[in-house]
Amino acid sequence: MQAVLSLNGISKSYGSIKALKNVSYEVPEGSVFGILGPNGSGKTTMLSIILDILKADSGSFAWFGQPGSPETRKRIGSLLETPNFYQYLSAVDNLNITEAISGRGNAADIDRVLEIVNLLERKKSKFSSYSLGMKQRLAIGAALLGDPQVLVFDEPTNGLDPVGIAEIRELIKSLAKRGKTIIMASHLLDEVEKVCTHVAIMKRGTLIVAGNVDEVFANEDIVEVSSQDTDHLHNLLNGFNGATKIKQDDNKVQLFFPQGTARLEDINRYCFENGTTLNLLAMKKKSLESKFLELTND
Ligand code: ATP
């Protein structure tokens, strides 16, 4: 599949703060691509660079296989911070102004985007009468003017309540169904997991991993065991076949298996036959949260 965006060794510092360190990845066409990371990990800096708001210190990027140009920019709609809509004007009047300033879209396009963001029926209401979720949908509507092929959103659900979050999620899914490529920054694992097909996980300016969500968050079986002598148990289990990884954690040993392959009775028998009785033997499914923490912790 063709890459809509390719990043090649992007670095950026603010004085002594290294906001991005040699970051490279590709965003496939038609993907919903989540840039996931805690506050300060460099997400906004990266979005600003690919939108030509900031300049990278080194490295390069290409949209649709070409260096950025006014022509390629027309194919990208973005929402980095909430636009300054006029409180006393309606949604339509606000979008008319956005359209006139940006030169994107036309009057006919305004109803089209209002329909997509589900505000057509409220198009004549004043902006000040909108809920936070409606305001954010209008902001997304502004990014849709001119029907760009790619959409870039920074934390699109920030500050919204669960209903507002769900509405934005559905909106992003419907945009993806229309064939748009969506690049969104988020610090919420849950949000990324629910809407994204691909993810890049960032930590303090460094890319931890990028790829298909299913691969990045591949689930594993984890079995926790303990006995009186944890070190001895750890050594013993090093000889047990089938585990992909063994970790000692306080007074427990964790065994990791490919999903669906852990057999508790086999572990129990192996330990018993080697002279160790277990006082804990439990299957612990790995949650995405723990996976995310593991990815982003030192
Ligand atoms: P958040 O979710 O909080 O916006 P983020 O992942 O988007 O975080 P960035 O905003 O890109 O992260 O910030 C990356 C690092 O660069 C942080 O340490 C931040 O403090 C620093 N930084 C960002 N902008 C500036 C600036 N204009 N001047 C100095 N330092 C900055």
Relative to beta strand 198-203, strand 32-36 is parallel
Q: What is the pLDDT of residue 285?
A: 63
Q: What is the mean pLDDT of residues 278-290?
A: 77
**Residue 290 half-sphere exposure toward CB, CA atoms < 13 A:** 8
The pLDDT tens digits for 184-233 are 999 888 888 889 999 999 988 999 889 888 777 767 788 999 999 999 99
The SS3 of residue 12 is: strand
Q: What pLDDT score was predicted for residue 259?
A: 79
**Confidence band, pLDDT 50/70/90 cuts, at residue 57:** very high
Does ligand 1 lie within 6 Å of residue 241's CB atom?
A: no
Residue 41 CB less than 6 A away from ligand 1:
yes
What's the pTM? 0.79
Tens-place pLDDT, residues 71-124:
888 899 999 987 789 999 999 999 999 888 887 877 789 999 999 999 999 989
Q: What is the mean pLDDT of the chain?
A: 90
Query: Which domains does the chain possess?
Result: 3-213 (3.40.50.300), 221-296 (3.30.70.100)
Residue nearest to atom 30 of ligand 1 (CA): 14
| pLDDT at residue 288 in the model | 61
Does residue 269 carry a pLDDT above 90?
yes
Residues 139-176: pLDDT tens digits?
999 999 999 999 999 999 988 888 999 999 999 999 99
- Is 14 near ligand 1, meaning CB less than 6 Å away? yes
Q: What is the pLDDT of residue 283?
A: 86
The residue nearest atom 1 of ligand 1, judged by CA position, is 39
Q: Which atom of ligand 1 is found nearest the CA of 48?
A: 11
The answer to whether residues 186 and 4 touch, using CB atoms and an 8 Å cutoff, is no
125 confidence band (pLDDT: 50, 70, 90) = very high
Rounded to whole angstroms, what are the CA distances from 8 to 5, 24, 67, 197, 250? 10, 5, 12, 21, 41
Distances (CA, A) of 222 to 227, 274, 285: 17, 22, 6
Question: Does the beta carbon of 66 lie inside 6 Å of ligand 1?
Answer: no
Q: State if residue 181 touches ligand 1 by the CB under 6 angstroms criterion.
A: no
Going by pLDDT thresholds of 50, 70 and 90, the confidence category of residue 138 is very high
Q: Is 16 in the pocket of ligand 1 (CB under 6 A)?
A: no
Using the mean position of ligand 1's atoms as its centre, give its distance from the Cα of residue 259 in Å. 37
pLDDT of residue 81: 80
What is the token pair recorded at 63? 């949209």
